[in-house]
């Protein structure tokens, strides 16, 4: 009996060490996968002439703010975030803190992969309009649009070839990576068989969403979507920020990383005066010359209410990023959600958590008592 207890003790210790090693390795991988590299931040700041250069006395105020949380942020983040403000606001959250401390505190990383598959959206999220799916592929099997029936490769080709226009999205893709378009009448378009060959083991093929005319006119070639960040905190879902993403004139996706621009949306749905693009340039008009301040997101309150309602369907994630379109009649259309979203701080020119910042940082770094749904 004694030997068994002795062996069990060391087995538990070994398993604990393995878990700690796994966590450490995961942390190291995440550092480079989900956050700006130092070189990226340096390049952004160079593009804006070095960013905001506050006095040393101002910077000491920022340092004092973070000192109580045991953190010493790097000044370069505030050169970037505060450039358009002309003063330091210590409540801005540097990206390494956001991705390495805050997101893991509020979201269950172990559940994220299961929720990331776009092919399962029809089962995970209910009660909201979504793009119409024609074919999907999950775990190397082809399915019909609703995922209720396994179909053959030949059947998948026929279903897709019966459409005039389709967008193919990788099941777990982000930032517009890996997206392909099919246009029957375009001679330069890839064929359906070649698209299916290139999409790998998981994707969704969807009909093109028809958006509201007020958003289509900003850049007709892209679906211009609202990126909204929601936060479930102390029994209430808050919408922390929202930005309208507008595609580049030569692009078919609106992602910031693909050359698009992002403009903050006010609580009443009107756009701010200026948008920021990937080159850190601030512009007050769209690629086709429309003044941003004269544009209002259709049914913005409806989109906000929908996000708050849907967040309750995802109990393992207290911070979520949502991409929504406004349909032709203003109906909110959920394009996708992200369990590890980036922040809207640059385009929004406001700290992510706003007036909640102190409470959130105390919860993460001082109380450290969030259950994390594990």
Q: Residue 328 sits in a domain of what CATH number?
A: 3.30.470.20
Helix (H) or strand (E) holding 277: strand 275-277
DSSP secondary structure code for residue 292 in this structure: G
SS3 of residue 69 by DSSP: coil
Domain count, the chain: 3
Whether residues 67 and 87 share a domain: the answer is yes
DSSP strand pairing (282-283 vs 275-277):
antiparallel
Q: Are residues 225 and 330 in the same domain?
A: yes
Domain match, 121 and 233 both:
yes
Q: Is residue 80 part of a domain?
A: yes
Instruction: State the sign of the Cα–Cα–Cα–Cα dihedral 208, 211, 213, 217.
Output: negative
370 is a domain residue: no
The verdict on 116 and 258 lying in the same domain is: yes
On whether both 120 and 264 belong to a single domain, the answer is yes
**297 lies in some domain:** yes
> Which of 171, 187, 206 is the last residue before a domain boundary?
206
Last residue of a domain, which of 157, 174, 206?
A: 206
Both 118 and 254 in one domain: the answer is yes
Indicate whether 328 and 235 sit together in one domain.
yes
pLDDT number for residue 373: 45
What predicted TM-score, i.e. pTM, was given to this entire model?
0.87
Q: Do the Cβ atoms of 171 and 205 come closer than 8 Å?
A: no
What pLDDT, on the 0 to 100 scale, is given for residue 121? 95
**Are both 252 and 333 inside the same structural domain?**
yes
What are the pLDDT tens digits along the chain (374 aa)?
A: 555 665 665 556 565 566 566 556 655 555 555 566 677 888 889 988 999 999 999 999 999 999 999 999 999 999 999 998 889 999 999 999 999 999 999 999 999 988 989 999 999 999 999 999 999 999 999 999 988 899 999 999 999 999 999 999 998 766 667 899 999 988 788 999 999 999 988 999 999 999 999 999 998 889 999 999 999 999 999 999 999 999 876 666 655 555 689 999 999 999 999 999 888 889 999 888 899 999 999 999 999 999 999 999 999 999 999 999 999 999 999 999 999 999 999 888 899 999 999 999 999 999 886 655 44
Closest by CA to 335, choosing from 346, 327, 343, is 327
> Residues with Cβ < 8 Å from 21, sequence gap 6 or more?
none
Interior CA angle at 131 toward 126 and 134, to 5°? 105
Name the strand (E) or helix (H) holding 193. helix 192-198
Helix (H) or strand (E) holding 275: strand 275-277
Domain residues for the domain of 202 are 133-206
**Same domain for 265 and 117?**
yes
What is the C-alpha radius of gyration for the chain, rounded to an integer number of angstroms? 23
Residue 309: inside a domain:
yes
Query: How many secondary structure helices (H) and strands (E) does the chain include?
Result: 14, 13
- Residue 23 pLDDT: 53
Distance between CA 335 and CA 271 in Å, rounded? 21
Give yes or no: residues 118 and 159 share one domain: no
**Residues 51, 84 contacting (CB under 8 angstroms):** no
């Amino acid at each position: 009996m004694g030997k068994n207890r002795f062996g069990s003790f060391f087995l538990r210790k070994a398993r604990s060490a393995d878990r700690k090693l796994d966590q450490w390795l995961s942390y190291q991988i995440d550092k480079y996968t989900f956050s700006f590299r130092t070189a990226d931040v340096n390049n952004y700041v160079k593009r804006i002439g070095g960013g905001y250069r506050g006095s040393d006395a101002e910077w000491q105020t920022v340092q004092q703010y973070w000192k109580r949380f045991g953190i010493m942020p790097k000044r370069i983040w505030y050169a970037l975030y505060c450039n358009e403000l002309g003063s330091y606001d210590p409540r801005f959250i540097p990206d390494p803190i956001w991705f390495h401390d805050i997101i893991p505190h509020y979201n269950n990383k172990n559940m994220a992969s299961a929720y990331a598959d776009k092919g399962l959206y029809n089962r995970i999220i209910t009660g909201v309009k979504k793009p119409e799916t024609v074919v999907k592929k999950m775990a190397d099997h082809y399915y019909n649009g609703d995922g209720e029936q396994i179909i053959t490769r030949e059947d998948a080709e026929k279903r897709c070839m019966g459409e005039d226009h389709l967008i193919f999205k990788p099941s777990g893709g982000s930032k517009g990576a890996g997206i392909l378009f099919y246009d029957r009448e375009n001679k330069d378009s890839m064929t359906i068989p070649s698209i299916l060959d290139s999409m790998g083991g998981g994707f969704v093929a969807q009909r093109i969403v028809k958006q509201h005319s007020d958003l289509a006119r900003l850049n007709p070639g892209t679906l211009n979507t609202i990126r909204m960040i929601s936060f479930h905190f102390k029994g209430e879902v808050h919408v922390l920020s929202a930005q309208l993403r507008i595609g580049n004139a030569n692009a078919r996706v609106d992602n910031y990383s693909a050359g698009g621009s992002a403009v903050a949306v006010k609580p009443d749905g009107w756009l701010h005066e200026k948008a920021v693009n990937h080159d850190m340039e601030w512009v007050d008009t769209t690629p086709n010359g429309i003044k941003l301040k004269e544009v209002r997101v259709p049914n913005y309150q409806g989109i906000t209410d929908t996000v708050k309602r849907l967040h309750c369907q995802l109990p393992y994630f207290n911070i979520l990023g949502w991409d929504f379109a406004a349909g032709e009649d203003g109906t909110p259309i959920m394009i996708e959600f992200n369990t590890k979203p980036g922040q809207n701080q640059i385009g929004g020119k406001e700290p992510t958590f706003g007036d909640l910042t102190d409470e959130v940082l105390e919860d993460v770094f001082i109380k450290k008592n969030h259950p994390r749904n594990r």
